[in-house]
Amino acid sequence: MKNIFFLITCAVTMSVSAQYASSSFVTLNEGMDQAYLDIEMLWKVYHEDAIQSGRKTGWSIWKVSPENYDDKVEASRIPHYLIVETFATKEALDQEMASYDEEGLAKITKLIKQKFKGKISARKIDQILSKDVNKERRTYIHQGIAETPFTGGGLKPGDKMMLAPMEQLQEDYEQYETEFLPKSFCG
C-alpha cells in the first residue's frame, strides 16, 4: 500500500478547484464500527449526487489510526473516522451545511431510497439510518490558502495520510507555511 505523507495546515484534502472544506472527526459508540460503515455506504449515493450536480467538489472518508496521538487527547475522544467534504465556494459550503436540517435530511433519505430501490428495502434503509452510532462528531470549516499538487496520481482507497494541524503563533505564519516551508522540503 502506498504511503502518502502531507503537511496540511488545515487538516483537509483539497482538490485544485476546492476553496472551502468541512472536516468532521467522528468518534463512535462502542461496537458501532460496522453500523457506521453501513450508514456511510448509504450516504455515498447522496455525496456522489452532490458532486455530479456541482454542489460540492469532493467527499472522502478516512479511517483514523489511534497511533501517534499524544496525551493531550483523551483516549475516549480519539476519532475513528474523518469525513472531508470540499466545495468551490463558501456559498456552496453554507448551502450544504443548511441542508442537514430536518427537512433536508428527509430529502436526503428519499434520494437514498430512490437510488437503492430494488436493492435494499426502504424499511431496511430506515433501520440502518436510525442507529445511534456517533459518540461525538466535531466539524471544522476550512478555507484553502495554498496547496501542493498530488504527484503520482490522485488519492485512492488504501492510501495513507498524516495530518499535522498547526496553531498560528505569529502574524506571518501563512507566509512561512506557503513560502519558506515548501522550499526547505523541496529545495
Residue 124 sits in a domain whose CATH number is 3.30.70.100
Q: What's the first-to-final CA gap in the chain, in angstroms?
A: 27
Is residue 121 situated within a structural domain?
yes
- Average pLDDT rounded to a whole number, residues 151-171: 71
Report percent pLDDT > 70 for the chain: 71
Amino acid at 114: Q
The 3 state secondary structure assigned to 81-128 is EEEEEEECCHHHHHHHHHCCCHHHHHHHHHHHHHHCCCCCCHHHHHHH
Residue with cell 459508540: 29
Is residue 130 situated within a structural domain?
yes
What is the residue range of 49's domain?
20-182
Secondary structure class of 58 (helix, strand, coil): strand
pLDDT at 50: 96
pTM of the model: 0.76
Q: What is the pLDDT of residues 104-155, one digit of tens each?
A: 999 999 999 999 999 999 999 999 999 999 999 999 998 887 766 666 667 7
Q: What is the pLDDT of residues 112-126, one digit of tens each?
A: 999 999 999 999 999
CA atoms of 11 and 81, how far apart (whole Å)? 13
Is residue 76 situated within a structural domain?
yes
